[in-house]
Chains A and B, each alone.
Chain A
Amino acid sequence: MITIASIVIALAAVAVSVYLILKNQKAKEVLEKREKDVSRRMYELAILKELGDRIGYSLDVQQIIDIITNSLHQFIEYSAVSYMILEPEKVIFKMHLERSVHRQFVNDVRDRMLGSLGALLDREFNKKDVEEVLSGAIIIEELEEPVRSFFNIPLVIDEKVVGVLTVADTKEGLYKEEEMTILYKIIQQASKAVTSLQGVVKTEQAKVNAMVESMEDGVVMTDADYRILVINPAAKRVIGQEGKQEVTIFDFIDNLGGKMDIRGRLEESVKLKKTYMSERFEVHNKFYQAFVFPVKTMSNLSEGEVLGGVVIFHDVTHEVELERVRDDFTSMIVHELRTPLSGIQKASELLKMPRKPAAASKQYVDIIYQNSSSMLDMVNDILDAAKLQAGKFEINAEPASIAEVVSNRVDFFNLSAGDKKIKLKVTIDKAVPGAVPFDVQRIKQVLNNLISNALKFTPEAGAISVVAFLHEAGGLVNKELHKTGVVPPEPLPEDQFAKLPPSLVVAVTDSGVGIPLEHRGELFSKFKQLSNTTLVTNIKGTGLGLAIARGIITEHGGIIDVVSKADIGSTFYFALPVEKSPLP
């Protein structure tokens, strides 16, 4: 205020001296004009000073226009000064009456302003969207004076029309060019101030935006009126509005479809400073958990003023899927364990019954034996899988002959292969070393798994071959495999072998149905989804075999994988380093 006072004094002094100099020149009109100019300038300065003070902490266009209109009557004559400001969902129409007018006058000004706002923005406005506030003198219906003078100024902030300011009078011939130039100037200054301040805000906003832009979680920040200030691409993706530039809270309300009351939660945050964590909900086939919390001003003294709210959408789709796979897996395990258990229980019950069909006892004992063996296998698988998961899977590698182990397993499966009329062939390359360090029991387990799988999936009268050969460091594995006389359904990937040290390779090739590419990845995973294909082929078991096999081979420092082609067959292969190498 001291500044204003000093300006007033200085200007008054100038005015007085000018008056003294000119008083003898009888240039009264000139003087009057000067005085008018000076007062206008002072007014302008005062307004701009006040504006400067106010916008120091306010960016509210409406508040700034209020300051201007409140003091405009000091130098412009009008019956009413009014402004219209465009809000996202409505048009605010505020009119201050300096003198009483009738209702039609108000309506007339409103319609004209709405018309010019429409023309400026090139869109239609409905009278219903107008929120009217009248102040000042009262409406007197008897005064039937129409609008005779009228002047409109567009309110432009940052090159965007945000509204119009209008002065109107019942008298004719007001609002000359000159007066209006000053009004323009004031509005321009105000707009410039707001624009530059908004520029600062925008820069800051851009910084925040850049930061949240890269976040995987959807982030939306709103002001206290739930206008979106910051939004990242992930948040737009949540509601399927990636392409939309200006997303509003209504886009969220529409697209969340009542699954999460974003507006209500923000209101709780803004008004009650509450934080909120939602349950999981599904939008556009994805699962989210939302967090809502208030944004407060930084202040050590008080609790801080709430400026707005933040919503974070955390994508939990992957977790939900994992849970589903785990649930399916658990329910499958329960089913697979209960079935043999139920068989054991019922067979023993039958054995206890007095009325027992002759020669049935042996059959029941057989059932008990088979079921308990298959249960034991499954329990062992589950324990192995648990050990793998806990990283407590250990192998005991001792030099042994792979040729012996492979031949032993092939002999073991020969009987069941014969039942299905499947030719089971074994080839051990001469270059295979007599002793290689490996865990005999565990490698037997891997071979059991690979050969029994091959038998399961190969139709009657098919063929299965098991080969073992040496892969030289830097050698071409397909060439090496070819020498054994086996042709895989597809070449083995050379890059997998390129960096391996000299290794012992075992490959089990079947003439089965083959594995579609999309299922190959999940073959070796622990929680393989229980798909219909398992049921159709009527394959029993935990489905953990390959996951365990991979665990065993990895623990040996080797690799295990598969190549396959539909209707031709599959080759499952593993490679073990010939030298005992220190594990990484």
Chain B
Amino acid sequence: MKKILIVDDDMTFVAMMKAALDPKKYEVTSAGNGIEALSTLEESMPDLILLDIMMPKMDGIEFLTEMNKKYGEHKTSVLITSNNSSLDKISEGVALGIKGYFIKSNESLHGIIAMIESALPK
């Protein structure tokens, strides 16, 4: 069973993803911001993180920086999910070793699941 962590303050999106991802294949957990996400990492490192950029308290980029500092790079696959297509933030994420990114409103749940599957370590 692959572990997926969704870090997003958009509760609707989190609920949808949880509903769409097959519970027989994936164990899905979520965190509402970077700080919450960091504390869940202490328990276990997921196989993949779906990471939003704009979040209260600690945003996605700060979270990535902190995670890399604490655990080292490429410990898990990270996909950036945002509704803000600001290229600055995405290139910052690329520099921090993300696997890919997508704009939430541009992708269907099917498309997102396909991306998750290809980004997951085999």
Residues of A near B120 (CB, < 8 A) are none
Give a binary string over B11-40; 1 marks a CB under 8 Å from any A CB, 0 the rest. Answer: 011011001101000000000000000000
Is B57's CB under 8 angstroms from A367's CB? no
Residues of A near B22 (CB, < 8 A) are 355
Which residues, 78 to 118 on B, are CB-close (under 8 Å) to A?
Answer: 82-86, 103-105, 108-110
Residues of A near B55 (CB, < 8 A) are 535
Contact of B12 among A343, A355, A360 (CB under 8 A): A343
Contact of A346 among B56, B86, B109 (CB under 8 A): B109
Give a binary string over B49-82; 1 marks a CB under 8 Å from any A CB, 0 the rest. Answer: 0000011110100000000000000000000001
Chain A residue nearest in CB terms to B108: A349
> Looking at chain A's contact residues, is the secondary structure mostly helix, strand, loop, or mixed?
helix
Is A342's CB under 8 angstroms from B84's CB? no
Complex CA gap A423/B12 in Å reads 30
Report if A350-B84 is in contact (Cβ < 8 Å); known contacts: A342-B105, A535-B56.
no
| Interface-side segment among A116-124, A151-159, A332-340, A514-522 | A332-340
Is A339's CB under 8 angstroms from B20's CB? no
Residues of A near B57 (CB, < 8 A) are 536
Asked if B47 lies at the interface with its beta carbon under 8 angstroms from chain A, I say: no
Complex CA gap A449/B57 in Å reads 25
Residues of A near B85 (CB, < 8 A) are 334
Is A350's CB under 8 angstroms from B109's CB? yes
Asked if A357 lies at the interface with its beta carbon under 8 angstroms from chain B, I say: yes
Residues of B near A346 (CB, < 8 A) are 12-13, 16, 20, 108-109
Asked if A205 lies at the interface with its beta carbon under 8 angstroms from chain B, I say: no
Residues of A near B15 (CB, < 8 A) are 363, 367
Closest-CB distance, B114 to chain A (whole angstroms)? 13
Is B104's CB under 8 angstroms from A338's CB? yes
Residues of A near B103 (CB, < 8 A) are 338
Chain B residue nearest in CB terms to A536: B56
Residues of B near A338 (CB, < 8 A) are 83-84, 103-105
Chain A residue nearest in CB terms to B16: A346
Give a binary string over A327-365; 1 marks a CB under 8 Å from any B CB, 0 the rest. Answer: 000010011001111110111011001010100100100
Is A342's CB under 8 angstroms from B83's CB? yes
Asked if A538 lies at the interface with its beta carbon under 8 angstroms from chain B, I say: yes
Is B9's CB under 8 angstroms from A334's CB? no
Is B16's CB under 8 angstroms from A350's CB? yes
Is A538's CB under 8 angstroms from B104's CB? no
B-side interface size class = 20 to 34
Residues of A near B19 (CB, < 8 A) are 350, 357, 360
Residues of A near B86 (CB, < 8 A) are 331
Closest-CB distance, B30 to chain A (whole angstroms)? 15
Closest-CB distance, B28 to chain A (whole angstroms)? 13
Report if A535-B54 is in contact (Cβ < 8 Å); known contacts: A331-B86, A335-B83.
yes
Which residues, 309 to 331 on A, are CB-close (under 8 Å) to B?
Answer: 331
Chain B residue nearest in CB terms to A353: B20
Is A343's CB under 8 angstroms from B20's CB? no
Complex CA gap A339/B22 in Å reads 23
Closest-CB distance, B103 to chain A (whole angstroms)? 7
Residues of B near A341 (CB, < 8 A) are 105
Chain A residue nearest in CB terms to B12: A343
Asked if A570 lies at the interface with its beta carbon under 8 angstroms from chain B, I say: no
Asked if A371 lies at the interface with its beta carbon under 8 angstroms from chain B, I say: yes
Complex CA gap A350/B103 in Å reads 18
Contact of A331 among B20, B84, B108 (CB under 8 A): B84
Is A335's CB under 8 angstroms from B13's CB? no
Complex CA gap A350/B112 in Å reads 13
Residues of B near A360 (CB, < 8 A) are 19
Residues of A near B56 (CB, < 8 A) are 535-538
Residues of B near A536 (CB, < 8 A) are 56-57
Complex CA gap A335/B57 in Å reads 18
Complex CA gap A339/B83 in Å reads 6
Is A367's CB under 8 angstroms from B12's CB? yes
Residues of B near A538 (CB, < 8 A) are 9, 56
Is B83's CB under 8 angstroms from A343's CB? no
Closest-CB distance, B78 to chain A (whole angstroms)? 20
Is A349's CB under 8 angstroms from B109's CB? yes
Complex CA gap A357/B16 in Å reads 12
Closest-CB distance, B4 to chain A (whole angstroms)? 16
Contact of B13 among A343, A357, A535, A537 (CB under 8 A): A343
Is B108's CB under 8 angstroms from A345's CB? yes
The contact sample of 11 A-B pairs, CB cut-off 8 A, is A335-B54, A335-B83, A335-B84, A338-B103, A339-B83, A339-B104, A347-B12, A349-B20, A349-B109, A357-B19, A538-B56
Q: A345-B105, A349-B108 are in contact. List 11 more A-B contacts (CB 8 A).
A: A338-B103, A340-B12, A342-B10, A343-B10, A343-B13, A346-B12, A346-B108, A349-B109, A357-B19, A367-B12, A535-B56
A residues with CB within 8 A of B: 331, 334-335, 338-343, 345-347, 349-350, 353, 355, 357, 360, 363, 367, 371, 535-538
Q: Report, nearest first, the 9 A-B pairs whose CB atoms are least far apart.
A: A338-B83, A342-B105, A338-B105, A343-B12, A346-B16, A342-B104, A335-B84, A538-B56, A335-B83
